[in-house]
Structure 1
């Protein structure tokens, strides 16, 4: 990860969850609930694969991704499942301008994100394993063995840095409800710096 100049991360929300937990759906529904005057922004991701119609992502070739990483164009970046993911350094400007910024991150790289933004709030989207298995099978991206691997990883514990605020949003029910909860967290950071402050 690029750990160059830091910006105030008190309004940064680092969204995590297992593949198939519905993060992209929640972000899409949440954006529809944001009032026009509210400074709540969702950062798009840069990915070295084609993005689906449900996610807010831009495709880069591996060479272009490496070039941008070397130039410091990413505030956060990581590798997973043979792919590269990045969040643009523009989020630092958005934070300085007073926006609440939500990024679609990775549980495996929470520690690196927290090192750059120690005042951020981490939010994990949780889903019951049986429901997660149905969602993974329904989207048709992975084989049965790949789904099994993803389900195994979904229930594994991940390290949470000391003093890192961690909240959980359940997405077992109506996704609109979980999206409203996520927006409530974003609004709380605008009002108080961090939820519960």
Structure 2
């Protein structure tokens, strides 16, 4: 049995990364794709992605026991990808993880064969989504938009545009995975998969 591939999905806040991954979680199992849950020191009812909520003490306890494949900190929270993904990969499953651009170098060290995915959207769409979440002021949103150009896609990334139809963005990601399109940075093709 050949080992599965780890797809490391990144993107700035507001691009709809969580929505794309939720769509793939619902439609990708029949294609052999699993989406790993993140372990986060954020309450489960805080909205956003479907994550495993941990207290800081429990997070650190798990980290000390080596139960995470990857960890990082961002925005005052601790994030982890569970060690179960190593088991899944060893058993031939392709796995998508919701990663951080700041932890990308560490992820590459841990999983040298990972395949990077950058989810993006236009600045106007991102600003609208961030405003709808209601977590940040207009000034904070403007600062996020101003930083968009400082995070180029890592070499070898597939770029998924999520400006419009969520099913199209999710299908594009599944099609890129199925086609093995990671020979160099490129735009993912628009997909018309029958799911």
**Cα distance in 2, alignment partners of residues 72 and 159 from structure 1:** 30
Matching residue within 39, 52, 55 for 1:46 = 39
Alignment-derived partner of residue 170 in structure 1: 161
Inter-CA distance 10–96: structure 2 relative to 1 (3 Å threshold): closer
- Tell me if 1:107 matches 2:101: yes
**Cα distance in 2, alignment partners of residues 127 and 159 from structure 1:** 13
Alignment-derived partner of residue 185 in structure 1: 176
Q: Check the 8 A contact 1:49/1:83 in 2, yes or no.
A: yes
Inter-CA distance 117–10: structure 2 relative to 1 (3 Å threshold): farther
Alignment-derived partner of residue 82 in structure 2: 88
Question: Structure 2 stretches of 5 or more lacking a match?
Answer: 185-195
TM-score, length basis structure 2: 0.84
Correspondences of 1:14-93 after superposition (within 5 Å): 14-34=8-28, 36=30, 38-51=31-44, 52-93=46-87
RMSD value, Cα: 2.2
Q: Secondary structure at the match of 1:21?
A: coil
The alignment covers a number of residue pairs equal to: 182
Show CA shifts across 1:24-56 (max 9, x none): 1111112232253x3210000011112444412
Q: Which moved more, 1:151-160 or 1:113-122?
A: 151-160
Inter-CA distance 113–93: structure 2 relative to 1 (3 Å threshold): same
Show CA shifts across 1:138-197 (max 9, x none): 11122223322322333313584xxx53111111121110100111123235xxxx7449
Q: Which has the higher contact order (CA 8 A, sep 6+)?
A: 1
Question: Structure 1 stretches of 5 or more lacking a match?
Answer: 1-7
Alignment-derived partner of residue 5 in structure 1: none
Q: Secondary structure at the match of 1:41?
A: strand
Q: Which moved more, 1:175-184 or 1:97-106?
A: 175-184
